[in-house]
Amino acid sequence: MHSSTLQRSTGSAISSRLMASGGAIYHRRDWGASGVGGAAETTTEETERAMTVSNDKKKKFLDDDLYDALRWLFEGAVAWQAASTLPERYRHQRVLGMYTSLVQARALYEFFYSCSKKADDARAIDFAPSWNESTSTLYTTYMASGKPSNKRVFHLVYDRSARSGGTGHDGPDHLKNQVLEFAKDLCRVTHVFAGCVKPEFRDNVQAALQKALSEAESAAQFYGIANPL
């Protein structure tokens, strides 16, 4: 069977399967087998059986992994901004900062917006059963399926250089000029998430965000620029 046919049939089978998650039924965004930026978004009502994960392991994820993704999203954005002030000094830092931020942005958007998952994937809904935050215009314009981040960064396609998402040669609406906007958008989403998680996780989410923002402030001081976040 062709791989794409297999993926579609597998995804369909999973989507149609009713699975219990503590007996709770919740709203699901189905992103398909490829996760964020994969299949077209659909919305379904179903139950899921999540891999059993202890609260201690969930807290460790928030303390270590959510923090790490936020930190490098923010620090990448600060480095990107710093390089724009003295490009001759920082050489390719602007590009490196951009790629660092885009990789972490993609991972975080998947965490926040996707419920389709493999056994070890962490999702926002694991910590906040009522989580149903709407995707931002920034996300739908640049990061969703078939949009510039996938065509220009995460996948090799024909005419890749023409998939910037913007007008002209180097306009402000190009993907490469959205680095700070992604960081700000995900900072906002994380703040909302912290207010929705179960009480036992709230301190961990807030601490992860504040630590990441503190690292961004330290990076800005290192580069001698105002913190753009």
pLDDT value, residue 51: 55
Asked if 187 and 71 count as a contact pair (C-beta separation under 8 A), the reply is no
Maximum average pLDDT range among 17-21, 44-48, 114-118, 205-209: 205-209
Looking at residue 2, its pLDDT comes to 47
* Strand positions, DSSP E, 8-136: 26-30, 42-46
Per cent of the chain over pLDDT 90 is 49
pTM: 0.76
Q: What length does the chain have?
A: 229
55-89 confidence digits (pLDDT tens): 999 999 999 999 999 999 999 999 999 998 877 77
DSSP SS3 for 42 = strand
